[in-house]
Each structure stands twice: as structure tokens, then as C-alpha cells.
A and B are shown apart, each in its own frame.
Chain A
Amino acid sequence: MAITVERLRRTFGSFTAVDDLTFQVGAGEIVGLIGPNGAGKTTTLRSLAGILRPTSGHVRIDGHDIVGDPIEAKRRLAFMPDEPHLFEYLTVEEHLRLTARLYTVNDFDRRAGTLLEELELAGREKLLPGELSRGMRQKVVIACGLLRDATTLLFDEPLTGLDPIGIRKMRATIVARARAGAAILLSSHLLHLVEEICTRVVIMDRGRIVADGTFEELATRADLVEAGSNLEQIFMRVTGRT
């Protein structure tokens, strides 16, 4: 399994943001991580990316523990956060070059050129983040994530700030990466996007998993049969919002 999460727990003081989380994501899978605000999705993704240290439990990326063997685990990871964090003093091209150096990317010029074209960043290589719109900054983060052949891609609200063309391209890119064998975990509030591209869904509420399975599995689950076959209805039902 590309991503293995075992009994993950993360607390902030006396508040438990994520509790007893266990799930796996295999190569080629696109798993949607959904839940209401404050469910613990971002905390989960940040724990998987090595930003937050789990209070207890384990996260393994291609078998490498994110705490015990962080360098090997992170080498295989690409995390695209919802809020683009960039170095305000480095240009778009320098961000890509920095990523290439950190992750030892071969064939940098070709890959960077293709990505810049694909994400409509061509012509903006010499600009600083402060000179870009939020959507463009988001694209730079995505470009840095896609520059390398990461086996595991973590997306936190990947479509935030993108225009319709960017959204369409992003969707296609995610699917293409999964087809190429990457394991993808995607957090989003856009249930139609999750329904459209994800092969499986993990629904979280109050830090815990309340549902995990393919749409068919969830729709046929005994307690959810009455909810209907649509993800929104299932979501409302499992999170007790109906």
C-alpha cells in the first residue's frame, strides 16, 4: 500500500483533532477525504505530509514511517496545500529549480517547461509570488508537486482559487497521475468532484472516520440504503446532518 494510516491520533492541548484513524490508499487509487468543517481532514493530511507529528499511531508512505524514516517517506510524497506557501523572494522558475534540487529531478528543463505550459505559467517564470494572483500561486505549488514522480500525492482543496480552465486541467491531471500508478488522497468540499474522479471515499466527522468505501459499497451499506445513492445524501446521513 502506498499510504498506510494506523490508529492515527493528533491532539492540540486538550482538543483531539484526529482520533484513531485507520485507512489505506493503494497505488492507482484516488481516495476522497471529505467531512464537515473541523472534521480533521487538514490535520490528517498535514500529519501524512510530515508537517504535524502524530500524537500516536503510524503513517507509512510506501512502507516508510513518516516519523521513523522521514526522509525516505517525504521523498515519495507531494503535498499540495489549500493555502499556497511560497518563498516571497524566489521566482516561479526558482521555486521549480529548488524543488528539482531537493528531490533530485532529472530532465528538469523538459519537465519544468511542460508543466509551465500545462498550468499556464509560461511567461511568468521570472515573477515573484507577490506578483501573482492567488490562483497562479496555487498553480506554482501544484507545479512543484507534479515536477517529480511522487508515488503519493496529497491534495488539500486542490481547486481553490483556480479558474474553470484550471479546474478542468487539474481534474485531468489528478486522474492521469492515478492512472500512471500514483496513490492520491484528496480532500475537498466539492462532492461532485469527489464523486466524479475518486475511486473510494473516506468520510470524517469530529476527528473520526464515519464511513470508508467505494460509492457502491456505501450505497449498499445497511444503514445507508435509505439515504440514496448520491454522495451528498450519503454524506448528510453519515454525518448526522439530515
Chain B
Amino acid sequence: MLSASLYIIVCSAKNRIRMRLRRLREPRYLFGAIAGVAYFYFTFFARIRGGRGRRSGRGLDPSVNAFTAAAAAGPAAAGLALMVVTAVLSLVPMTSSLLVFPEAEIQFLFPAPVSRRQLLLHRMLRSQLGILFFIVVFSLFVPSSAAFLRLRTGLAMWILFATGKIYFAGIGLAKSRLTSASGPARRLAWAPVALLVAALGLAATALARAFLGRPVTGVQDALTRFSDAAATPPMRVALLPFVALARPFFAPWPWPFALSLVPALAVLAVVTLWVIRTDEGFEEAASQASARSAAARQARMAPAPSARVAGWTLALTGSTEGVFMWKNALQVLRATSGVALIRYFVPLAVAVAAMSTAVLSSRGNVGIAMALCSIAVYLAAFTVLLGPHIMRTDLRDDLRHMELLKTWPLRAAAVIRGEMLFPGIVLTGLAWLALLCGTILSAAGFPRLSNAWRFSGAASAFVLAPALIFAQLTVHNAAAVLFPAWIPLGMSRPRGIDAMGQRIILFGAVLLTLIVMMLPGIVAGAALWFAFYRFVGPVVVIPGAVISLGIVLVEVLAATESLGPAFERLDVQSIERPE
């Protein structure tokens, strides 16, 4: 089985790498890879090199001494934290990834004449690739120029994660045995939890003795008392496996670190042995875990819609644009769940609150009206500038249904316009709502501006919002027609450095095209400004915005018409399916 397992791992990795290298023969992937590598270089390696240059001229940071002092209690503190986290995660109902078998493995390996232990070992081996990849990426972020520090952190993390992964698989197996018909098996299943609770009790008692007797006088005192408590025999015993796993993170390079690996590896070995020897509930736990994982993945990829009554029946005659508007509206209505709302609105709320707080702090004015005005303005800006990127209920999403769309007797330009209509109207509505709030509160939000300026600015923003939104939607949908392979389908995201590079290029292209689309309107508005500002004042920005809107709408019409032939030529084979 070991050879078969290695065969699966090596062949899968080799084929994946080969497939990604082979696709670099296509220019879109090659350019994507170049952009992705450049991004990595400038984000990580150039920063590291820059940091090395800066550090070489400086003395040792004084805070390092304080850190070293605190680090004396580090292994014990980290071990305690590890124990608490382990206890919490052992109680929380969660699925161990080690027990989640992909469909192909279930189909091939479960009916194969291999033992449960061999299957477990196979999963343990397979999980190493993921851990190693994560560690390599994480090590790049370690704020140090010394290679050995990265190596130390990487090795320590590998032992910690490998042990954790195997331990939680053991907990998963133990949980599945809790429902066993055999009494001894059920009692044995409680053993790991009982051990953990006993260890927690010992640690808590030792800490209570150290801290509850007299009040803490400072950080130094707290650290000393914690170190003393950690040195007592009961707590040392309780923390033993956890400290063993944490110590390599703190041990100096090279020999103390090498020595610290021995107990850590011993813990890994004991945990592995424990899991392998208690594999009775394996099939049950693995099938449950795989089913849960598959359901969760399916829900993420395509949330199960519910047939909510929309109150909007499609008329049997009308424009093509209306068909797509109706279809996309129903999709949004039926696909929007509480989870989806949280997914979109929590980051939005955090971003808006953070930006507003930053601006208000810099102004030194934190009145409620002013705060609300700032939030409304940022919300409007966010909706207008990032909304079209986030709300993908248009051709980007419908690339999935392209085979069906291609059989319909419709003008391609009308299809593209129809696809953009619903997200455009929704985003415009949201932006207008935010702008309305901002306008009402603008006296507090912009106290230095005159009424004429505030209302002219607000009116222009109202007019410009749909122009900006529809211009961006046009660019995004044009990209879907012209470069369908670069558009992620549904909730899936293509993986690989080339796919990341493609996204960077696409984002840059969208920005550039947006600027080009808005430029004629800006020039026309500027001309109006210079010609009439001295006569009519700030009101002149309103006709400027109206002209910009008109120009953009003409551009949108022209762009969708000219995209028609490209849509007809669009090859469904070029649409990138998730890996």
C-alpha cells in the first residue's frame, strides 16, 4: 500500500505540475505566470532584500532584549496555549481533513484489499504535501533575513501541524466510537478527552496556586510566577507533550534546536501510533467526514437555492434585455442566503468603518452626523468602484450556461446588455441610497463647503454613479467575451501562479479601460468648467456630469454592439472549468 500511496502522491503532483507547465505554452497563461512571478518578487523577495539592506546599517533593536526576556517563559506559555486550543478544538464538532477522502480515493481504495491502517497511513502521507506547501509560503513571511530562522520555523511548524492533523483524526475516530455498541469501546473512546481534561485540571490548579494567593505587581512578576508554576512537577507533566511541540520554535540554532526536535518527534510518533492502533471506527468516521466535506464544498461552490416566490412573472413578449434582467433578478433573489449576506456585508462594513474612522481621526472631529456622512460617502464610493467587480451576476457568471445561451436565437449585443442590466441597476440603486444619506448629512460632513458646492457635487455624483458602474460592467463583460478563460466560474477560483497573474492583469486592464472610457467625459466636463464656471459657479459640474453620463452610455452601446461578433465566435471550449 505504501508504494501505491506514494505512486498516487507522486503521479498526482507530477501531472499537476506538468499540466501547469504545459499550459504555459498558451500566451494567456505565460503572461499570467510572468505577472504572478513579478508580483511575488516585488511583494516578498524584493521586500526581504530591501529589509536586509536597511537592517545592516542599524544596531540591535532594544525591544529584542525585552522579547528575549519574555521568551524565557515562551515554551511553557506556548505549550499552555496549545493545550487550551487542543481542548477547545477537541470538543468542537469539526471534521478532520485526514479522514476526508476524495471521491476517487473512496472509489478506488475503499474496495481495494488494503487495511484501515494502510488507508490511514496513506492519508497521513498525502496530507504532508499540503502542510509543506503551507509552510513554504508561511516561511516567506517570517520577518527575518536569516535562512536558518526560516528553516527552524518551517521544521517546527511541520512537526506541530503534522501532529495536530493526526491527533484530530484520532479525535474524529474516537468520536465515531462513542456511538459504538460495545461498552468498553465507548469507554475507551472517552480516554483522550479524559486525559486532556485531567491535564487541564493539573495546569489550572498549578496556575491558581501561583496567581490567586497575592496580587500580580507587574508583567515581570506575572512572567516569573508563570515560569515557577510551569516548573512544578504536576504542570510539567500536564504540559509535557505540548511544550515538547512548542520548544523547537524557541530553541537556539543549531544544536539546542536539533535536541528539541527529539521530544517533538517522539510526541508525533506516539500520536501516530495511537491513531493507527485505534482505527476501528475508521470507515464510519471517514465516510461521514467525506460526506460532510463534499456537502460543504458543494454549498460553497453552488449554494443550494430555494424556490422563493419572486412576484415577478416573465411576460411572454418583450425585449431580450428584459429576459436577462428577470433571470438575473431571480438568481440573486433565490441565491442570496444569510451566509452570502454575511460574506459580502461584513467585509464591507469593516472596510467602511475603518476608512471612516481613519478620516475622522485625522480631522479630529467625531460628531455622529459627520461620522454617518463619511460612512455614506465611503459606502457610495465602495459600491461604485468595487461593486461591479464583486457583483458578478452577469455574463461572468453565465459563462457556465454558455452552451445553453449559444442555442438561443438572440442578438449577441442584446444578450450582453441584458446581462449587465440587473447588476447595474442594483448597484446604482445602492449607490444612490448611500449618496442620498450623504447629501442629507453633508452639512455636517463637509462643513467647509458652501451649499452650492455640496448640492452640485451631490447631483454630479448621482449622475456619474451609473456612468461609472455601467462602464465597469461593460469592461468586465467584454473581458468575459474576449478572454473567457480568464474569468473564474461561479465561486471557483483557478489555482496557480499563472491564474493569479491573470487576475492581476485583468484588474489592471479593467482600470485602464475604465480611465479610457471616462476620459472623453472628463475632457468635456473640464471644457465646460473653464468656459462657464466664472458665470454660473459650481453648478457647472452638473451639466459636465450629464455629458459624461451621455458619452459613457453611447460608449456602452457601441461597445456591446461591437462585442456581438466576438460573442458569436466565443468558443465554449475556451471557458476555464474548475480544476
**A contacts, CB < 8 Å to B:** 12, 46, 49-53, 67, 70-75, 77, 79, 81, 85-91, 94, 97-98, 100-105, 108, 126-128, 130-131
How far apart are B570's CB and chain A's nearest CB, in angstroms?
8
Query: Does B331 make an interface contact (CB < 8 A)?
Result: yes
Q: Does A52 contact B571, Cβ atoms closer than 8 Å?
A: yes
- Give chain B nearest CB distance to A104 CB in angstroms: 7
B49 interfacial contact with A, CB 8 Å: no
Interface pair B408/A101, CB less than 8 Å apart: no
9 pairs of A and B residues whose beta carbons are closest in the complex: A74-B409, A75-B409, A89-B331, A89-B334, A71-B409, A51-B406, A85-B404, A128-B307, A89-B305
**Chain B hits for A89, CB < 8 A:** 305, 327, 330-331, 334-335
B16 at the interface (CB under 8 A from A): no
Task: Return B444 CB to nearest CB of chain A, in Å.
Answer: 42
B403 A51 Cβ-Cβ under 8 A: yes
Residues of A within 8 A of B409 (CB): 70-75, 102-103
Which residues on the A side are within 8 Å of B401 (C-beta)? Answer: 85, 87
Contacts of A88 in B (CB 8 A): 302, 305
Docked pose: A67 CA to B412 CA in angstroms: 13
Nearest CB on A from B481, distance (A): 14
Interface residue count for B (Cβ, 8 Å)? Answer: 31
B316 A79 Cβ-Cβ under 8 A: no
Residues of chain B contacted by A74 (CB below 8 angstroms): 407-409
Query: What chain B residues lie within 8 Å of A85 (beta carbons)?
Result: 401, 403-404
Q: A101 is contacted by which of B318, B331, B334, B404 (Cβ under 8 Å)? A: B318
Q: Is there a chain A Cβ closer than 8 Å to B350's Cβ?
A: no
In the complex, which residues of chain A have a beta carbon less than 8 angstroms from the beta carbon of B410?
A: 71, 102
A105 to chain B, nearest CB (A): 7
Known A-B contacts A50-B406, A70-B409, A101-B317; the reply to A90 vs B327 at CB < 8 A is: yes
CB contacts (< 8 Å) of A50 on chain B: these are 406-407
Q: Say which residue of A71, A104, A127 sits within 8 Å of B307 (CB atoms).
A: A127
Can you list 25 contacts pairing A with B, beta carbon distance less than 8 Å? A46-B572, A50-B407, A51-B407, A53-B571, A71-B410, A72-B409, A85-B401, A85-B403, A85-B404, A86-B404, A87-B327, A87-B401, A88-B302, A89-B327, A89-B334, A90-B327, A91-B307, A94-B330, A97-B314, A98-B314, A101-B315, A101-B316, A102-B409, A108-B316, A130-B304
B107 adjacent to chain A (CB < 8 Å)? no
- Shortest distance from the beta carbon of B42 to any chain A beta carbon, whole Å: 34
| Residue interface mask B297-332, A partner, CB < 8 A = 1 | 000001011110000011111100001000100110
A90–B330 touching, CB < 8 Å: yes
Interface check B63, CB cutoff 8 A: no
Give the CA-CA distance A126 to B305 in the complex, in Å: 13
B interface residues with partner A (beta carbon < 8 Å): 302, 304-307, 313-318, 323, 327, 330-331, 334-335, 401, 403-404, 406-411, 568-569, 571-573
Query: Which of A46, A72, A97, A131 is in CB contact (< 8 Å) with B316?
Result: A97
A7 vs B210: C-alpha distance in the bound complex, in angstroms?
Answer: 90
Chain B nearest CB, measured from A66 CB (Å): 10
Counting chain B CB atoms within 10 Å of each CB, which of A73, A77, A102, A103 scores highest?
A: A102
Having A51-B572, A53-B568, A86-B404, one finds 14 other A-B pairs with CB under 8 Å, namely A67-B568, A72-B409, A73-B409, A74-B408, A74-B409, A85-B403, A85-B404, A87-B404, A88-B305, A89-B331, A101-B315, A101-B317, A101-B323, A128-B306
Closest residue of chain A to B303 (Cβ to Cβ) is A88
- A164 shortest CB reach to chain B, Å: 28
Residue of A nearest to B568 (CB): A70
How far is it, in angstroms, between the C-alpha of A33 and the C-alpha of B488 when the chains are bound? 35
Query: How far, in Å, is A13 (CB) from chain B's closest CB?
Result: 9
Given contacts A52-B572, A108-B316, contact A102 B305 (CB under 8 A): no
Q: In the complex the two chains form, what is the Cα distance from A72 to B411 in whole Å?
A: 11
Instruction: Report the bound CA distance from A104 to B315 in whole Å.
Output: 11
Q: A43 to B335, alpha carbons, bound, how many Å?
A: 33
Are A49 and B407 within 8 A (Cβ)? Answer: yes
Chain A residue nearest to B412 in the complex (CB) = A70
Q: How far is the CA of A70 from the CA of B411 in the complex (A)?
A: 9
Known: A52-B573, A94-B330. A102 touches B304 (CB 8 A): no
The closest CB in chain B to the CB of A12 belongs to: B573
CB nearest neighbor in A for B314: A97
- By a CB distance below 8 angstroms, the chain B residues around A131 are 307
Nearest CB in chain A: distance from B306 CB, A: 8
Cα distance A105–B315 when bound, in Å?
12
Please, which residues of chain A bring their CB within 8 A of the CB of B323? 98, 101-102
B407 touches A71 (CB 8 A): no
Separation of A51 and B401 alpha carbons in the complex (Å): 11
Residue of B nearest to A106 (CB): B316
Kindly provide the distance from the CB of A137 to the nearest chain B CB, expressed in whole angstroms. Answer: 13
Closest B residue by C-beta to A145: B407
Inter-subunit contact A130/B406 (CB<8 Å): no
> How many angstroms between the C-alpha atoms of A101 and B306 in the bound complex?
24
Q: Which residues of B contact A46 (CB under 8 A)?
A: 403, 572
- Give A108 to B572 CA distance when docked, in angstroms: 31
Q: Report the nearest B residue to A130, measured CB to CB.
A: B304
A197 to B317, CA, bound (A): 36
Task: Select which of A53, A100, A103 is within 8 A of B569 by beta carbon.
Answer: A53
Q: Are A130 and B403 in contact (CB under 8 A)?
A: no
Complex Cα distance A219/B278, Å? 67
Cα(A4)–Cα(B404), bound, Å? 22
Nearest residue in B to A78 (C-beta to C-beta)?
B407
Q: Tell me how far the C-beta of A74 lies from the nearest C-beta in chain B, rounded to whole angstroms.
A: 4
A130 touches B305 (CB 8 A): yes
Residues of A within 8 A of B569 (CB): 53
Shortest distance from the beta carbon of B368 to any chain A beta carbon, whole Å: 40
Contact A104 B317 (CB under 8 A): yes
A105 touches B316 (CB 8 A): yes
CA of A91 to CA of B304, assembled, Å: 13
Which chain B positions have C-beta within 8 A of A128? 305-307, 334
Docked complex Cα distance between A152 and B14 (Å)? 47
Would you give the shortest CB distance from A94 to chain B, in whole angstroms?
7
Could you tell me the distance in whole angstroms from the C-beta of B210 to the nearest C-beta in chain A? 58
> Chain A: which residue is nearest B490 at the CB level?
A88
Per the bound structure, the CA–CA distance linking A168 and B49 in Å amounts to 73
User: How far apart sit A86 and B133, CA to CA, in the bound complex (Å)?
Assistant: 38
Chain B residue with minimal CB distance to A141? B404
